Each structure stands twice: as C-alpha cells, then as structure tokens.
Amino acid sequence: MSEFIPPAKPIIGDEEREAVDRVLRSGMVAQGPEVAAFESEFGAHFVQGRPTVAVNSGTAGLHLGLLAAGVGPGDEVIVPSFTFAATGNSVALTGATPVFVDIEPETFTLDPEAVAAAITPKTRGILPVHLYGHPAHMRALEALAAKVGVTLYEDAAQAHGASLDGRPVGTFGKFAMFSLYPTKNMTSGEGGMVSAENDEIARMLKLLRNQGMERQYENEVIGFNARMTDIHAAIGRVQLTKVDAWTAQRQSNATFLNANLQGVVVPPVAEGAVHVYHQYTVRVPDDRDGFVAALKTEHNVGAGVYYPIPNHRLPSLASYAPGLDLPETERAAREVVSLPVHPSLSQNDLDQIVAAVNTVVRAGA
Ligand SMILES: *Cc1c(COP(=O)(O)O)cnc(C)c1O
C-alpha cells in the first residue's frame, strides 16, 4: 500500500529555521521588532492595511477582541454551533452568553435567517465563522447587523485570504481573528492575528495583550499576558511570503477533487466567494464513520471530522443551550468528512485520494 496521506501537514523550511536562528542570536526573543513588522506585513497582505495586533493564540485573539469590543456579562453574542469550541468558549469567557444558531447547509456557515430569529434586546454582536476557509454570508449579516443595531465580529481562524465580492474576510467585523496554529493555512508555531476596525480597538487589544500597559508599569486596564514572541513572529513573516502560493495549490487540489470524486457531495462555493480550502469537506450521508475508517485502514488516506459534536452539545457549553435543536448543524456533524487538500499533496497523492473515495463509496453502495 502507498504511504499514509495525513489530513494536514505544516510546511516549515530552511528560511523559517534561519529566521528563528536570527532572532535567537540577537538575544532579544520576547515581543519586539519582529512582531511589529509581522503585524504591519500581515495587515497589508490580508486586510487592506487595517490595524493588526499579534497575540499568542487565535483563541486569545477572539477573547481579547470581544473584550476590546466591550462584550461582557449581560450581553448575548450569536455564534454558530458548528465550529471549533474556541468560538463559543471565547464568548463565555467574557461573561457574555453564546447564543447558538444553525448553519446554511451548502457553506456550513451561519444562516442569516436563523441569526435574525435569534436577535433579542440583549444581543450585542454576531460572530460568524468562515468555516473551512469559505466566507460566511457577510452581505446578509452586515445588512442585518445594521438594521437591528448590533455589531459584527469575525472568526477568520481558517480563512486567510478568503473573500466575498472582492472584499477580504477580516475587513467586515469590528475585529477579526486569524489563527496561526500549525494546521491552519499558515503558521507561526502558535499565534493569532487580530485585525481591528479602528485604532481605538487596536489600542485596547494591545493593552489587553500586555497587562493593560501602554507605558511600563502604568497599567490602565486589567489585562493578560497574550504577547507573541519575536521567535514566533519571525516564522510567521516567512510563512506570509509563501501563503498565497500554498492557497493557490489548495484551490487547484480542490478543483481536481471536485472534478474526479464520485458519490459524495463536494463543497459548493457561494456566488462571489473565494474559498481558501483550509479544509476540503464533503458530505457522506450514509455511515460516515465507516467511510472514514475504510479510507484510513484500506487506503492509507487520513480524513478528518470537523466537528463531530456541535458546540451546543459539548459538556462544556451545553448549559447555554438547554433543549436547543439545530437540525442542519446536527446533520453536518453526522455527515462531514474533510479530505486532505493541503499544498504538499503530490499528483500521486491526489490520485490515491480519488481512487480511495470512489472505491469506498462503490463498496458501500
Ligand atoms: C483554530 C481555530 C480557533 C482557535 O485558534 P487557536 O490559534 O488554535 O487558538 C478558533 N476558531 C476556529 C474556527 C478555529 O479553527
């Protein structure tokens, strides 16, 4: 059997190693000039030059972003349930209530009509997730938010470079978070970037990241230590020069899979959307778990399920959603499978994935 194809594979090369070495040799490793350079380069690259603040994880970015936007106890923030737990957690950590709503079945992102139905006088904001690298329905959400007077935020953890109608994700929300975890489309080891709508939000993010200090020992607000190190920033700066080529490769891999897979529902792309395929996610309506196991044991293809348990049913978050029924979320959690789409796949790997999927589907039919 051919070699195992992993579901994700971070690409770290000599330039990243040299960049780390340069920082280590400088003797200055904490947040400093590399972080500042990474912030402005990232902002220019992805979010049209919006002010951008680096933190030590995407999760910290969401948490601090919500706090900087003024979210706290008594507020409700509308989130999808079909996402990584960090989305709902970050809302809960501010003391606000995450209000879980359903998704659109095609794009796996927040359903704007379900969001409209969930608005209450306590709703402070809406936190859509650009899941798998496909932009959420920002046109409708922006109109809704303006109409009812609530604020939009963005979880762009998986969506570096995605856009809608030519407008990049990360430019819609009061803040937007990008994750730099190793399996994301680019990495700094661990880390997150938060783009801010204005300098005031950016300043608050910087205060919250550094014990509430702008000037040393003059703490203005109660803050965290969520700083990125210059070591991590140096890795991220190198990755930033490569990420566009990797994204193009993901898109071309997805095009090949779309054209050749049989018997599974391939991921549609909404009109005007640019999908960056953090995940290439198909639906397998019958016996998804058997399908994933057969891909692995019979064909050496690693597939992932993101996410098998929706946020609103996790033991950690279920108390926010007693008795809630989200049918499209439940169906997605039962049916989704993410196939390898990462940029280090060879044509042989892609052929192996297609053969594996089509064989397992035929065997199950
Ligand atoms: C990865 C991820 C996060 C959290 O980012 P970290 O950098 O791992 O803390 C949040 N939301 C979503 C949708 C993610 O995929």
Tokens describing residue 200: 């005031």
Structural domain including 289 reads 243-364
Asked whether residue 7 is assigned to any structural domain, the reply reads no
How does DSSP classify residue 301?
A: B
Please indicate, yes or no, whether residues 124 and 230 belong to a single structural domain of this protein. yes
Instruction: Give the up-direction half-sphere exposure of residue 354: CA atoms within 13 A in the CB hemisphere.
Output: 17
Please indicate, yes or no, whether residues 125 and 200 belong to a single structural domain of this protein. yes
Last residue of a domain, one of 195, 221, 240: 240
Please indicate, yes or no, whether residues 269 and 216 belong to a single structural domain of this protein. no
- CATH number for the domain including 347? 3.90.1150.10
**Sequence-separated (6 or more) residues with CB below 8 Å from residue 261:** 282, 354, 357, 358
Contact between 200 and 178 (Cβ < 8 Å) = no
CA distances from 258 to 16, 174, 181 (A): 33, 35, 27
Please indicate, yes or no, whether residues 49 and 152 belong to a single structural domain of this protein. yes
Q: Is 188 in the pocket of ligand 1 (CB under 6 A)?
A: no
Please indicate, yes or no, whether residues 226 and 259 belong to a single structural domain of this protein. no
Report the DSSP pairing between strands 175-179 and 154-155: parallel
Residue nearest to atom 5 of ligand 1 (CA): 58
Please indicate, yes or no, whether residues 155 and 258 belong to a single structural domain of this protein. no
Last residue of a domain, one of 240, 260, 282: 240
**pTM greater than the 0.85 cutoff:** yes
Closest CA to 158 of 183, 141, 175: 183
Q: What are phi and psi of 218, to 5 degrees?
A: -115, 70
How much distance in Å is there from the Cα of 142 to the middle of ligand 1? 23
pLDDT tens track, the chain, 365 positions: 689 999 999 999 999 999 999 999 999 999 999 999 999 999 999 999 999 999 999 999 999 999 999 999 999 999 999 999 999 999 999 999 999 999 999 999 999 999 999 999 999 999 999 999 999 999 999 999 999 999 999 999 999 999 999 999 999 999 999 999 999 999 999 999 999 999 999 999 999 999 999 999 999 999 999 999 999 999 999 999 999 999 999 999 999 999 999 999 999 999 999 999 999 999 999 999 999 999 999 999 999 999 999 999 999 999 999 999 999 999 999 999 999 999 999 999 999 999 999 999 988 86
Please indicate, yes or no, whether residues 306 and 344 belong to a single structural domain of this protein. yes
Domain count across the chain = 2
Whose tokens are 């049918």? That residue is 327
Contact between 284 and 305 (Cβ < 8 Å) = no
Residue to mutate (ligand 1; options 55, 56, 59; most atoms within 8 A of CB): 59
